[in-house]
Amino acid sequence: METTGKVIKCRAAISWETGKPFSIEEVEVPAPKAHEIRVKIAATGICGTDEHALHGYFSNIEFPIILGHEAAGIVESVGEGVTSVKPGDKVIPLFMPQCGECVCCQNPNTNLCLNYSADKPRSPEDKKITFTCKGKQIHRMASISTFSEYTILQESACAKIDAKAPLDKVCLIGCGFSTGYGSAVNIAKVQPGSTCAVFGLGGVGLSVLIGCKVAGAARIIGVDINKTKFAKAKELGATDCISPQDNDKPIHEVLTEMTNGGVHYSFECIGQTDSMIEALKSSHSGYGTTVIVGVAPFTDKMALDPMLLTTGRTLKGALFGGWKGKTCVPKLVSDSMAKKFNLDKLVTHTLPFEKINEGFELLRAGKSIRTILIF
């Protein structure tokens, strides 16, 4: 390709400061070095985590930055030593890489890779990859930064997918869908006939709900303060939907009464420590499991009565639904193409990339599930 080996100038949405609107700027994206891949992003979703990152929820995010981590694209060029993809391949960037070599990658019980963690500074290797704009160095989010027409990935953070995959839909497999679905099927391991409660019915919570349904849950209760989310939740398999604001008692008491003592599985998909404790208290003593999916500000801490755990509840959490990205993402894409689950229902808006601020406004106003930005 004529761009191979050269710096590419392209559009990107820069967040210059915490909480400020995005500004579309021209950025320079370097050529990929050894074991790096340069990808042309075709479509990128807006996830609740991007909104949280913009508002300083993470300890390891520095401004100015290019956010975005839920995307699909096409390989433009590769650096020396890259063997898993070639120019023209369709790919999904992985915010949780899979180096295949670290102790976590070699452990089948986790999808963490020691090359990345949401609560640690980025690795020196990763910090070397930078974009520039107006002569300033621009930081990257979760090693992938997909709010840019072109981005650089380490080979461990790039999954090759089916050449026929619709990029404007499977981009959701890059975060929201896989996170929610995997939280139900991999982390909670929802059993047929069980009762589940899902706190927060955004793109992630609704994907948890899809996972609970696929796993054969008999009763799925959606919890959200925004009742406009209930219709879609019911369409996707929720048997009941309730709002904490319609009840004068704590929502765990309502759920406990509705389910004869508590649910088998509860999921927090909001990112608030109070809701995390409510989710835990909603699970049945002796056998209930609670999965924390939501990301709270790193300064917030949970204070909980340890007796909730000594009486037999399990509290767990995961990033990216427990999927090892390079291995599992291609399979999730094939499953979506085989209609094992329907991603279309999660997409409420599709906008040109330039309208990124409008997309975030829709999320903040509670009017969208997923907005997909198209380059």
Give the single-character DSSP code of 363.
H
Q: Cβ atoms within 10 A of the Cβ of 287, count?
A: 13
Chain centroid offset of residue 348 CA: 17
* Residues of span 168-197 touching Zn ion by CB under 5 A: 175
Among 29, 42, 47, 158, binds Zn ion (CB under 5 A): 47
- Residue 41 or 295: the one with the smaller Cβ distance to ligand PAD is 295
44 binds ligand PAD (CB under 6 A): no
- 110 forms part of the interface with Zn ion (CB under 5 A): no
Distance set, CA 375 to CA 71, 72, 335, 351 (Å): 11, 11, 25, 9
**In this complex, which beta carbon is closest to ligand PAD, that of residue 31 or of residue 225?**
225
Q: Please report, for residues 60, 115, 120, 226, the alpha-carbon distance to residue 102 in angstroms, rounded to integers and kept in the order given.
A: 21, 8, 16, 42
Residue where the block lists tokens 């106003």: 365
Least Cβ distance, residue 34 to ligand PAD (angstroms): 29
**Which partner in ligand PAD, Zn ion, none is near 113 (CB below 5 to 8 A by kind)?**
Zn ion
Scan residues 253-272 and list those touching ligand PAD (CB under 6 A).
269-272
Select from 105, 233, 251, 372 the one that contacts Zn ion (CB under 5 A).
105
Distance of closest approach, residue 346 Cβ to Zn ion, in angstroms: 12
Is 99 a residue that touches Zn ion (CB under 5 A)? Answer: yes
Which residues touch 338 (CB under 8 Å, ≥6 apart)?
none
Return the sign of the alpha-carbon dihedral for residues 13, 19, 21, 25.
Answer: negative
The site partner of 199 among Zn ion, ligand PAD, none (C-beta below 5 to 8 Å per kind) is ligand PAD
Strands, E, within the chain: which ranges?
8-14, 23-29, 36-45, 65-66, 71-78, 90-93, 131-133, 136-140, 150-154, 158-160, 195-199, 219-223, 240-242, 265-268, 289-292, 314-317, 347-352, 370-374
Does residue 305 sit in helix, strand or coil?
coil
With binding defined as CB under 6 A, does residue 366 bind ligand PAD?
Answer: yes
115 or 283: whose CB is closer to Zn ion? 115
CB contact at 8 A, 292 and 316: yes
Cα distances from 315 to residues 245, 292, 318, in angstroms, run 25, 8, 11
> For residues 283-322, which are near ligand PAD according to CB under 6 A?
293-295, 319-320
Site for ligand PAD contains 224 (CB under 6 A): yes
The closest alpha carbon to 289, from 344, 366, 208, 204, belongs to: 208
Q: Give 42 or 269: the residue with its C-beta nearer to ligand PAD.
A: 269
Among 32, 93, 203, 222, binds ligand PAD (CB under 6 A): 203
Identity of the residue, 179 or 256, whose beta carbon is nearer to Zn ion in the bound complex: 179
The one segment of 109-117, 130-138, 160-168, 319-327 that binds Zn ion by CB under 5 A: 109-117
Q: Is 102 in the site for Zn ion (CB under 5 A)?
A: yes
Q: 106: which 2 tokens? A: 């070699």
Give the nearer residue to ligand PAD in terms of CB position, either 59 or 132: 59
* Cβ pair 79, 90 in contact under 8 A: no
Per-residue contact flags (x/-) with ligand PAD for residues 122 to 141, judged by CB under 6 A: --------------------
What size, in residues, is the chain? 375
> x-or-dash pattern for ligand PAD, window 271-290, by CB under 6 A?
xx--x---------------
Q: For 112, phi and psi rounded to 5 degrees?
A: -65, 150
Q: Is 40 in the site for ligand PAD (CB under 6 A)?
A: no
Residue 158, classed as helix, strand or coil, is: strand
Q: Using the rule CB under 6 A, is 56 a contact of ligand PAD? A: no
Closest approach of Cβ 265 to ligand PAD, in Å? 16
Nearer to ligand PAD, 238 or 319 (CB): 319
- The type of residue at 334 is S
Edge-first strand listing for the sheet containing 314-317: 240-242, 219-223, 195-199, 265-268, 289-292, 314-317
Q: Is 211 in the site for ligand PAD (CB under 6 A)?
A: no
List of residues contacting Zn ion (CB under 5 A): 47, 49, 99, 102, 105, 113, 175
Residues lying near ligand PAD in the complex (CB under 6 A): 47-49, 52, 175-176, 179, 199-205, 223-226, 229, 244, 269-272, 275, 293-295, 319-320, 363, 366
